[in-house]
């Protein structure tokens, strides 16, 4: 019987060593796969962030160009009224033909469309 046990031990020894080698290869393959996945994930993640940054840059560039195109009229003088429009300034008491100061009350609104509804309008000659 002892010979039977000894022979079975000898046959089990290669199987055990095979099992150990298989475990070692499996662990190494798992570690390599995890390392490969770890190397690949940030690359894809950085590509996504780069794409999002590019889209955001293009969006803000278009907004900036539209803002330049539709420049507001701040600080630009309003065009004077045409002859066909009725300007109350010409018959107002505060209006003067002076080229430096045409109106003493509202110098920025003289002969413009804002002067049509001027709250400080005072007729030059009052009818009795």
Going residue by residue through the chain (128 aa), what tens digit of pLDDT does each one get? 455 555 555 555 655 666 666 776 677 767 666 666 555 555 567 788 899 999 999 999 999 988 887 766 666 666 665 644 667 788 888 888 787 888 888 888 888 888 888 888 888 776 55
> How is 47-105 classified by DSSP, letter by letter?
HHHHHHHHHHHHHHHHHHHHHHHT---TTPPPPPPPTTS--GGGGBTTB---SS-SBSS
CA–CA gap between residue 105 and residue 109 (Å, rounded): 9
What local confidence, expressed as pLDDT, does residue 84 receive? 44
């Amino acid at each position: 019987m002892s010979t039977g046990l000894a022979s079975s031990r000898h046959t089990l020894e290669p199987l055990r060593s095979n099992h150990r080698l298989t475990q070692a290869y499996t662990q190494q393959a798992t570690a390599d796969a995890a390392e490969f996945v770890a190397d690949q994930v940030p690359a894809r993640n950085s590509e996504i962030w780069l794409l999002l940054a590019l889209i955001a840059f293009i969006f803000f560039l278009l907004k900036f160009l539209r803002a330049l195109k539709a420049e507001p009229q701040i600080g630009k003088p309003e065009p004077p009224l045409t002859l066909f429009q009725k300007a109350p300034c010409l018959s107002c008491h505060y209006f003067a033909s002076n080229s430096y100061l045409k109106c003493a009350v509202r110098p920025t609104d003289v002969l413009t469309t804002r002067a049509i509804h001027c709250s400080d309008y005072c007729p030059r000659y009052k009818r009795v």
